Amino acid sequence: MAYSRSNRRSGSSSDYWPGFVDAMATLLLVMTFLLSVFMLTNYFVTQEVSGKDTALQRLNRQITQLTELLALEQTKKQKLEDNIASLSASLAASDSEKSRLQGLISAESGKAKAASSRLVGLSSDLDKQKKISSAALAKVELLNYQMAALRRQIAALNKTLDASAARESANKARIADLGKRLNIALARKVQELSRYRSEFFGRLRQVLGDRKDIRVVGDRFVFQSEVLFSAGSAQLNPQAHEQLNKFAQALISLEGEIPEEINWVLRVDGHTDATPIQTPQFPSNWELSTARAISVVRYFISQGVKPTRLMAAGFGEFRPIATGDTPEDYRRNRRIELKLTNQ
């Protein structure tokens, strides 16, 4: 009888232990699966929504807490496994130890239930965080759509700028072409004016003859002031009219031959020597030289030359043609110069 009862106890113990080990193994697999799912979910959620919103940062902090809790539970699970190994070794030694181990198992089972409840709560929190992640992803999609629209606008602006640059290049080419044409036209006008100036000089040489007091210097006729004016005066001498009349008639004849589109004038320049003058009428040589040039211009106008073709300028003593201080140098510097030029 005693042997039968002992066998029953031993069989009962043997039947309970494999079931317990299976339950613990199943619990371990469930926890490992949940941990794997959690870790995978945490990885993908972190990869997709990292840095997108402050709510995701809060999610990362909560996931970190969950990871720490799972690590703690894994540590406890390891302790349970160690306890189970210790219990397995002790069962062969004593039945009394079995009772103690059963108490320990009951206690650990309670902890496992608490851990399971906590995992259920964590799963609920994870579902909530998934919803938050979905909202964040929706915001990201909206931002991507807005960025795509902005890129399209930038592309349209770039096309507009390219078209504007092409038009600007075409306009520059036209302007350059017009500039070349204008330069060619101006060169032709200058050549025409040079030709008429040469004809004008040729006629005046014939009209004036070889007079020593009227010289040709470069592109201008030079009248000595004594031929036209008395000393210190801006009024023309009577003998000056004859020479200026010839000049005016040649100028009037030239006006009818030069085309209207050529802008030309006869510039009359007054010059004095370095001897200073200071009278109520002429405070300096500037006034005297200018007044003499104006007198010549007014006389040409009285003879029929158009005022639009005349110009008067006074230079005083500041543009001498002789740099000495002899009476002959002073005489050469006192002069009226007539120059046919363009406006």
Global pTM reads 0.44
Helix (H, G, I), strand (E, B), or coil: what is residue 306? coil
- Residue 91: the pLDDT is 65
* Terminal-to-terminal C-alpha distance of the chain: 149
pLDDT of residue 188: 59
Residue 322: the pLDDT is: 93
At residue 69, the pLDDT reads 79
Whether the CA torsion 198, 199, 204, 205 is positive or negative: it is: positive
Longest dimension (CA), the chain: 179
Q: Where are the beta strands (DSSP E) in 163-271?
A: 214-217, 220-224, 264-271
Q: Cα separation of 270 and 286, whole Å?
A: 9
**Domain 210-342 of CATH type 3.20.10.10:** no
pLDDT profile of the chain (343 residues), mean per 10: 50 67 85 84 71 71 82 81 75 72 77 74 76 77 81 84 81 74 58 57 54 66 91 92 87 80 89 94 96 97 94 96 93 93 74
Residues forming CATH 3.30.1330.60 domain(s) in the chain: 210-342
Q: Cα–Cα distance between 320 and 273 in angstroms, integer?
A: 7
Residue 302 confidence (pLDDT): 95
Query: For residue 335, what pLDDT is reported?
Result: 95
pLDDT score recorded for residue 306: 93
